[in-house]
Amino acid sequence: MMEKPTNIQERAFDFAVRVVKLCIHLDGQPGVPRTLSNQLLRSGTAIGANLEEGIGAQSEADYLTKVSIACKEARETLFWLKLLAATEIVPQDRLAGITDECNQLVAILTATAKHLKERRHG
């Protein structure tokens, strides 16, 4: 089993790779799976994109904004993953790993945003 990267940007990138691969699978199916794939692709790759933008933030407030947006995107991604499982478009057991990683990203980003807010407001 591969060890998870400790850097949040690396984890978000690795997660985005998993999302892209899942979406490639979904795009091979007609109708609803393809539509859900588009939603999942946008939110699942936006997590890492926003964190990368945050690296170049002009201020701590700007960085907090990027982390907060990444967290919102992770929550949205979690919704799409749960919907794919609940509708049996993808078996829940096949989504367990990616859903767990998404939950962990939400937790890390929520804690990071909370810490940054506390630091700003003393």
Question: Which domains, ranges and CATH numbers included, belong to the chain?
Answer: 8-120 (1.20.1440.60)
**How do the residues of the chain divide into helix, strand and coil, expressed in percent and rounded to 5?**
80, 0, 20
> Band of the pLDDT at 1, cuts 50, 70, 90?
very low
Q: In the numeric block, which tokens belong to residue 69?
A: 């947006």
Q: Does an H or E element contain 112, and which?
A: helix 92-120
Residue 4 confidence (pLDDT)? 53
Residue 122 confidence (pLDDT)? 63
Give 49-63 pLDDT, tens digit per residue: 999 999 999 999 999
Is the predicted pLDDT of residue 110 greater than 50, yes or no? yes
Give 2-30 pLDDT, tens digit per residue: 455 569 999 999 999 999 999 999 999 99
